[in-house]
Structure 1
Amino acid sequence: MIVESITTDVLVIGGGTAGCFNALTLAEHSSYKVLIAEKANIKRSGCLAAGVNAINAYITQEETEESFVEYVNKDSEGIIREDLVYSIAKGLNKATRKIESLGLTILKDEKGHYVSRGKRSIKINGENIKPILAHAVQSKENIEIIQRTQVIDYIIKDKTVIGAIAIALDEEKIYTIYAKAVVSATGGASGIYKPNNPGFSKHKMWYSPFNTGAGYGMGIRAGAEMTGFEMRFIALRCKDTIAPTGTIAQGVKAQQVNAKGEEYVSQYGKPTTYMRLYATVQENLAGRGPCYLQTKGIDHEQEKELFKAYLNMAPAQTLKWIENHTGPKKENVEIEGTEPYIVGGHTASGYWIDIKRRTTLKGLYAIGDVAGGSPKKYVTGCFVEGEIAAFSIIEDIQDKPSQTKAIEDEMTRNIYNFYNNKEQSYTYASIEEGMQKVMDEYAGGISQGYGYSQEKLKIAEQRINELMALAYELKVNHTKELGLTWEVIDRLYVAKVLIKHLEARKETRWRCYQENKDYPEKKDAFLKYVNSIYKDNKVHIVFKELVKKEDVYEHSY
């Protein structure tokens, strides 16, 4: 294989929402060379690939930065990094104006004010939000982009991340990339659990199927401190299409009703994000399902807006209505929960970072869905984190010398091992299927109503370890196969950490998200963060006290 070495000032791993905004900020406020390594094509990659129809984190006229933090804290049952959420809140509106200036269409009323969709949400025409971001990045002379390139591990020297090793997916080539600062912006992890639609339609899921926990996996293997993995995210979605339900719930104020037409969420407690899901699961278990969003009877204009909104973001839902000669005006929309995901943009899973978005590994920053501690950051929150990290990097690497090359022979040898392995009777696809089955049945998947027990988690841990051993024995014939194999390995590492986090939180704080059948009640003793460090092939759990918004938490290293 060809080995190509690249030296840059800043390496941004992942050209999605946060990565693009980070690179853009660096380019506009410094002369540093920035390299974005993107697994796909930057024009349509990451969570915004298909578009989005609202900005869901915005400080409207009725809200304040403080009320935003309060909202996130309440919805997350007190387990958030208030300092991180507050720093995001302060930048949301500025980030919104920035993306609008780049060409995003934000709907306005006759007075020129943004049109609200909810308390913290505004309407946009966002089908082209990712191409807009990509064009802005590509127009900067000091940003270079290498596409169809999968980063698989960090290069570490003297306990400092000085670069990364990557493979080209369309040719037999290895990249060794050296930088003064490395930014992880790879997104969260999907595909760990058996999906709603296994087999041919397994890609029909809530989260991007191409975000496979690469940033998490690299950080776990390198010994970075992780946080909040047990706070999984499970989306309440339109059945089969897995299209967003918030578009309907907020757009036409549709209530959740059971098969008898009864509103049911209020019977289970305050209508938090996870409680709307939990109530739906319980109604189905009680035989009062299926459950719906009550749209029958909405007017023609409202239906027209829903058709348009889903074409901007989840076309499958509009196409389903058209193919069945129906629509939300004629019939209610059935809803269901998805499989669990590990994602720091909706919940709190990810790297343990400080206020400057530095991880516990020197030289490494984490932003967006891969950064933990700050739920409900959504698109604009990812923008803000990208900006915060950019300004931190500009300050941190001012007098930092260019990185000298490390010896990466061991890392390239690990790659070659896969080519030299013997042919096996199993494949990366069968290991992936086995992983999803194990996690579904023993670690709280759809088939278990999202619940798990300590005993089942022990079985899950054992079987995930067995699958990990098999994965390293796989033989590959080209880099594309190697990339797919490595995606499974990354997710297995995420599964290992997730299992230990679920085991460590001996309570149930978020219904469905973290449904511990052995400890069904919430406990004040666990009003703390569950963190972990992977060392000597074991996940070591670390509990941390809460950080308030007025605190300025920075790593001491």
Structure 2
Amino acid sequence: MKIERCKTDVLIIGGGTAGCYAALTIADQSDAKVLICEKAHIKRSGCLAAGVNALNAYITEGRVPQDYVDYARKDADGIVRGDLLLTMSERLNQVTEHMERLGLVILKDANGKYVARGNRNLKINGENMKPILAKAVEALPQVTIKNHVNITDFFVKDNRIQGTFGFNIQDGTMYVIEANAVMIATGGAAGLYKPNHPGFSRHKMWYPPFNTGAGYAMGIRAGAEMTTFEMRFIALRCKDTIAPTGTLAQGVGAKQVNSLGEVYETKYGLTTSERVYGTVSENLAGRGPCYLRTEGITPEQDDSLMKAYLNMAPSQTLKWIENGRKPSQQNVEIEGTEPYIVGGHTASGYWVDTKRATTIEGLYAAGDVAGGCPQKYVTGALAEGEIAAESMLEFLRSHTPVPPEEAAVQEHLAEAAHFLTTDGGLFDTEQLEDAMQTVMDTYAGGIGTNYRFHEKELGIADDKIARLTELSDQLHAADYQELMYIYELRERLLVCRSVIAHLKARKETRWHSFAENLDYPEKDDAHWKKYVNSRMKNGKLEIVFRDLVEEGQNYEHCH
């Protein structure tokens, strides 16, 4: 195997929204050398790859950042980090204006003011938002971009990050990267559970299928503290296309109705989890299917919806065209997706302080991989990328790099060589992935059980996922693309075990559907208004309970 060793001041793992904006910030404020490693290509990678038609986190006229904090705290029923939400919210508008200067088209009214969509959103033409970001980063002379490089693990000693290990998917070059500071921005985890559309159409899901929880898995193995994995995210989406429903609910005021035409959303509640729970409950009660009521909207609203979905989910517009019925002529059927682990919509991810520093010294997290700060969306990821970048520059001024030990390097090379040279066992990667998704769906609260679970089932799930992890040691990769698939499977398996541990640890039901615990069907503020965290020690996950960071307080690490 060809081995390439690199040195840099700052390594950014993941060239998505947060990663690109962090690089822009570092280049604007210093001459530090930055290396971005992206397993795809930064022009169309991450959650912004296909575009977006609104910025869902913005402080509109008459509002203040604390209003956004209050909204996110209410939606998550109190289990959030207010300090993280506030430091993010204070930057939402400035990063938005910066993106406009870079070329993002934000819709404006006759007075030149941004066109708001609801209390916190702006309408944009965002189909080229990621290429705009990528172009700005590619123009920076101090930034090196390595596309198609899959980072698989950290080098950490004495709780200090030393660098990372990875490989080029196209030519197989093995990379040993030494860095003074590292930022993880790899996004959340999809593909843990059996999706709405398994088999040939399994890519048709809400969250990007190439986000495998790699950043989580690397942190878990290295002993980083993680938070709130039990707050899974289940998106309420248009049936079949899995297109977003917020454009319908906020854009034209569409209400959730059952097959009898009854509005049910107010019966169950209007938080994100309650909207899913209400839909599941109406179906179980025999009043499904459920819809967003669009019948009777105006021709102008019809046209607006058709165009809006072309920006981010063209399959929904194509479905209307193929059916020969516009939204005004037929309500849009809705359903829940499979559960995801994602820190941009819920609070799952690394346990960080206000500087976005993880519990591993020199390692920072931003975007979907960072926990405690839900409802980030695009602008929140930009804001966290900026915060992490400024924190890393501060870290560089008082720290020197620590090179990875050669024994650790050889261990990682041997692992990659094992998968490339072994004859393989009875199973291939796809078969084990399908088995993993079946286990999670059946025993850990997937679509098949209407997102419900109990403790005995979680125990079965953990045993089965542990066995699949053992079997994954026998997998064979015929090339480096298949080697990536093996690492992605192993990342998902480790995240699955963490999710199971967290679901088992929170003995209440605070978020219907997101964590519907049949053993403990009620919310219990007296005992469970706290964070459920975890860290791995000697190969075993340990649960850590932390008291809430109260409003007006900041939490900072003491390494």
Tell me, yes or no, whether TM beats 0.5: yes
1:406-445 equivalent positions in 2, closer than 5 A: 406-407=405-406, 408-445=409-446
Moved more, 44-53 or 405-414: 405-414
Residue of structure 2 in register with 1:512 after alignment: 513
Given the two structures, how large is their TM-score scaled by the length of structure 2? 0.98
Q: What is the match of residue 498 of structure 1? A: 499
Match of 2:6? Answer: 6
1:409 CA drift (Å): 1.0
Q: Hey, what's the Cα distance between the residues in 2 that align with 1:400 and 1:265?
A: 53
Match of 1:52 in 2: 52
1:172 paired residue number: 172
Find the residue that maps to 1:423 and give its secondary structure.
coil
Q: What is the deviation of 1:535? A: 1.6
1:420-453 Cα distance to aligned partner (Å, 9 max, x none): 3232221010010000000000000001000000
Shift of 1:92: 0.5
Matched, 1:541 2:543: yes
Compute the displacement of 1:400 (Å). 2.6
| CA deviation string 1:54-93 (max 9, x = no partner) | 0000001132111111111111000000100010111110
Which residue in 1 is equivalent to 2:330?
Answer: 331
1:15 corresponding residue in structure 2: 15
Which residue of 2 is the match for residue 152 of structure 1?
Answer: 152
Matches within 5 A, 1:255-404: 255-268=255-268, 270-404=269-403
* 1:554 corresponding residue in structure 2: 556
Q: Distance in 2 between matches of 1:551 and 1:346?
A: 22
- Which whole-Å CA distance do the structure 1 matches of 2:119 and 2:436 have between them? 39
The CA distance in 1 between the partners of 2:293 and 2:347, in whole Å, is 31
How far, CA to CA, are the matches of 1:89 and 1:78 in structure 2?
17
CA contact (8 A) 1:84 1:549 kept: no
C-alpha distance in structure 2 between counterparts of 1:276 and 1:401, whole Å: 49
User: Secondary structure at the residue paired with 2:12?
Assistant: strand
The residue aligned with 2:102 is 102
CA distance in 2, matches of 1:218, 1:248: 38
Q: 1:548: how far off?
A: 2.6
Q: Does 2:80 align with 1:80?
A: yes
Unaligned runs of 5+ in 1: none
Q: Is the 8 A contact 1:148 1:170 kept in 2?
A: yes
- C-alpha displacement of 1:157: 3.0
Q: Which residue of 2 aligns with 1:32?
A: 32
Amino acid at match of 1:427: D
2:240 aligned partner: 240
Shift of 1:141: 0.5
Change (3 A) 1:391 1:549: farther
Q: 1:173 to 1:228 in 2, by over 3 A?
A: same
Displacement of 1:295 in angstroms is 0.4
Q: CA deviation at 1:405?
A: 4.3
* Contact 2:241/2:316 (<8 A) preserved: yes
- Contact 2:444/2:452 (8 A) holds in 1: yes
After superposition, the CA RMSD in angstroms is: 0.9
Partner Cα distance (2:228, 2:401) in 1: 34
Query: More deviation in 496-505 or 56-65?
Result: 56-65
- Deviation sequence 1:392-427 (CA, Å, 0-9, x none): 111111143344342111121121121232322210
In 2, Cα distance between equivalents of 1:496 and 1:535: 14
Q: State the secondary structure of the residue aligned to 1:298.
A: coil
8 Å contact from structure 2 (residues 204, 241) kept in 1: yes
Q: Cα offset for 1:549? A: 4.0
* Counterpart Cα distance in 2 of 1:549 and 1:262: 39
- Return the letter of the residue paired with 1:410: E
Paired AA for residue 330 in structure 2: E
Conserved? CA contact 2:155–2:404, under 8 Å: no
Match of 2:523 in 1: 522
Q: Are positions 1:42 and 2:76 aligned together?
A: no
C-alpha separation in 2, matches of 1:374 and 1:499: 21
Give the aligned residue type for 2:472: A
- Report Cα offsets for 1:362-396 as digits up to 9, x if no partner: 11100000000000011101111000011111111
Deviations, residues 212-235 of structure 1 (Å, cap 9, x unaligned): 000001001111100000000000
Q: How much does 1:534 deviate?
A: 1.2
Deviating more after overlay: 259-268 vs 428-437: 259-268
Give, in angstroms, the shift of residue 118 of structure 1.
0.9
Once the two structures are superposed, residues 233-279 of structure 1 have per-residue CA deviations (whole angstroms, 9 ceiling, x without a partner) of 000000000000000111100111000111011122x3111111100
Q: CA–CA distance in 2 between the matches of 1:144 and 1:172?
A: 19
Q: Tell me the distance in 1 between the aligned counterparts of 2:539 and 2:469.
A: 11
**Contact 2:233 2:341 (8 Å CA) reproduced:** yes
**SS of 1:329's equivalent?**
helix
On the 8 A contact 1:86/1:549 being kept in 2, the answer is no
Higher mean displacement: 234-243 or 474-483: 474-483
Distance 1:278 1:464 in 2: 27
Residue type of the alignment partner of 2:388? A
Residue matched to 2:455: 454
1: CA distance between counterparts of 2:404 and 2:436? 37
Q: Does the 8 A contact of 1:62 with 1:119 survive in 2?
A: no
Amino acid across the alignment from 1:231:
M
Equivalent residue of 2:503, what SS?
A: helix
Mapped partners of 1:263, 1:158: distance in 2 = 57
| In structure 2, C-alpha distance between the alignment counterparts of 1:450 and 1:112, rounded to whole Å | 46
Q: Which runs of 5+ in 2 are unaligned?
A: none
Cα distance in 2 between the residues matched to 1:338 and 1:207: 9
Q: Distance in 2 between matches of 1:317 and 1:176?
A: 44
**1:301 partner amino acid:** E
Give me the whole-angstrom Cα distance separating, in 1, the residues matched to 2:247 and 2:162.
43
Q: Is the 8 A contact 1:53 1:123 kept in 2?
A: yes
Show the counterpart of 1:485.
486
More moved, 212-221 vs 407-416: 407-416
In 1, distance between residues paired with 2:224 and 2:424?
Answer: 34
Following superposition, the deviation at residue 158 of structure 1 comes to: 3.4
Q: Determine helix, strand or coil for the equivalent of 1:73.
A: helix
Q: Match of 1:118, SS?
A: coil
Quote how far apart the aligned CAs of 1:156 are. Answer: 1.7
| CA deviations over 1:326-381 (Å, ceiling 9, x no partner) | 22011000000000000000000000001100000111100000000000011101
Aligned residues: 556
Residue identity matched to 2:154? Y
Distance in 2 of aligned mates of 1:450 and 1:400: 46
One-letter code of the match for 1:55?
A: L
Aligned equivalents of 1:102 and 1:135: distance in 2? 9
Instruction: Say whether the 8 Å CA contact 2:337–2:447 is kept in structure 1.
Output: yes
